[in-house]
Each structure stands twice: as C-alpha cells, then as structure tokens.
Structure 1
Amino acid sequence: MTNMPTKTPNSLRTPSDLGEAAVEKSISVLNPLVADAIALWLKTKSYHWHVAGRHFRDYHLLLDDQAGEILASVDPMAERVRKLGGQTVTSIGMVSQHQSVMDVDDVSLSARDMLLDLMEENKRMAAALRNAHGVCDEAGDVGSASILEDFIDQAEERTWFLFETTREQ
C-alpha cells in the first residue's frame, strides 16, 4: 500500500487554525477510513444482491439498511479531509490501494458466512474508527473526532445486529 495523498495543491488548500502536524495526523487516519467505508459499502451491497435462502427477505433488507448507513458515512469523512485542506479519495483505484476491507468475489457463500464476514469487517471498522478518533482527539481536531463518534456507534450497532442474526438458538 502506498501512502494516500494528504495535501492538495496550494490553490485548493483550505486554511485551518489547527497546526500543520495536527492536520496531517487527522488526514492520515481519515483517508483510509474513507477508502474502507467505500469498500465495505460495496461488499455489503454485493452480499445484499447475492444473499439467498429461507431468510432472504430479512437479510436482504438488513444488508440494504446497513449499506445505506455505511455509504452515508463516506461524504462527511471525505469532506472533513477537504475542510482540513487535504486531498481525499479520487478513484476506485485509490480505494483498492488503501482499503483494509477484504474483497470477496465468491457469490456462492452461504447467507450465514456472508453475515459473519460482515460482522468481522464491521468490528475492524469500529476499531479503526476508534483509533482514528484517538489520533484526531490528540491532535486537537474536535471536528473530526466528533463526527467519528457517531460512526463508531453505527459500526458497533451493525456488528451487534449481524451477531444476533447469526446466532444459533
């Protein structure tokens, strides 16, 4: 993985009252989250499109809801990078270079395996969001830390729902 750009050309650089080091720290943890959110959205939608079985309707709707929630997190994080004066994701190629979400092209997975995979990905996403929150908080970037708090809660809730859905009673 190469480093994601953290700076934009001077003509697009948004002024900030945060110091340069604080801005760079925040951007360096926000950009990978943008790439991961896009990759996790696509993975969740793919499973939504390909899930099958006796609980199809429930899983189909659950995954659609979760995909929508994930997609809704992308714009605030990417715009936060721009507010700080950085460059964010510009292409699918950049997403693929920087994502930690594992691609799965096997559409024959069982519904349970899809849900378990997403549960693990959302747990990793929550951990990455929590880590980024700590970095932003330490850098004095309250704006970034604040938006990440809601996304942490959402990732934990997605994990919970996926866990409960896969439990065998």
Structure 2
Amino acid sequence: MTSKDNSKAALIDSLNGLLADTFALYVKTKNYHWHVKGPQFHDLHLLFDAQATEIFGLTDLIAERVRKLGGRTLTSIGSIAAKTSIDDSDDTNLDAKGMVKQLFDDNTAYVATLKATKELAGEAGDNATDGIIDDWTDQAEQRAWFLREIIA
C-alpha cells in the first residue's frame, strides 16, 4: 500500500467515525428534545429539534463522501456504537441544564473530530472533503455557541 493509499484509508476510517458520531449526536439531541422539561421547556424543545434536524442532515453527506472515496460506510446500530465517541445518555430525568451542558460538550468534541478529519483530508489530497468540512465545522461551532450561551 502506498502512502497515498494509507492516507485515503485513514480518511475513510475517520469519516466513518465522524458518521458514527453524527448519528449518535443526532439521537442524543433528539432524546433531549423529547425529554426536556422545566421553565425553558419551550425554547429548548425547539432548539434541540432544530439542532437534531441539522445534525441528521449531515449523515447522508458524510456517508456519500465515504462512498465517493471508494470506502464502505457504517451498516447498523452496532457499527455506529462501535465507532462513536459520543457517550449515551439514557437518563430521562436529567435536568435541562445538564442536557444543554452535555450537548455543548458533545458538539465541542465533534468540532475537534471535524478538524482532525479535515487534516486527514488534506494529507490524502482530498480537496472536496477538505472544503466541505469547513461548512460542517461552522454548523457545529454555531450549535456549541448557542448551547454555551444558555449555560453561561
């Protein structure tokens, strides 16, 4: 395998990790949309729904980048669970502030994953992935910003 092949394989692996994190972050955000309660219910319910919709919209784009590079994507809940770095949250009694804090932390970590994947895209000479990740990063930074301002 050449250095370029190794770089491409590393990028595909990173994109699949990003895809797993995207699915996991979507489910966690949607979970909080369903279970939020308290004085900020209305605003957080709507915010979490909007953020979940935005996150879900990335799944197909990421998977298609993997396929365009000749790779295979994730195939099941199990493959998502095996690749994600996003922690599950099964506590339906978590308070709204705790939900916002967890989503802030997850979106901040997601930005770091995006930046690491962008670096790999550069190493692989994949200008398309390198460029599109900037938009995904901006979206994640905006989500994190909104969440940070709520807990400030």
Question: If the TM-score is normalised by the length of the shorter chain, which range does it land in?
Answer: over 0.9
* Identity across matched positions, percent: 46
AA partner of residue 107 (structure 2): N
Residue 13 of structure 1: aligned partner: none
2:131 to 146, 150, 168: 146
Aligned partners of 1:43 and 1:103 also within 8 Å: yes
Identify the structure with the greater helix proportion. 2
What does 1:12-161 correspond to in 2, within 5 Å?
Answer: 19-161=4-146
C-alpha deviations, 1:44-64, integer Å up to 9, x for none? Answer: 000000000111110000000
Normalised TM-score (structure 2): 0.95
**Counterparts of 1:52 and 1:76 in 2: how far apart (Å)?**
32
Count of residues in Structure 1 that have an aligned counterpart in Structure 2: 149
> How much does 1:163 deviate?
0.6
Q: Deviations over 1:86-141 (max 9, x none)?
A: 00111011001111000010010110000000000000000000011011112111
Answer yes or no: is the 8 Å Cα contact 1:38–1:74 preserved in 2: yes
Gaps of 5+ in 2: none
Q: Which has the larger radius of gyration?
A: 1
Amino acid at match of 2:38: G
TM-score after normalising by structure 1: 0.86
Distance 1:83 1:132 in 2: 16
CA RMSD of aligned residues (A): 0.9
Question: Runs of 4 or more off by more than 6 Å in structure 1?
Answer: none
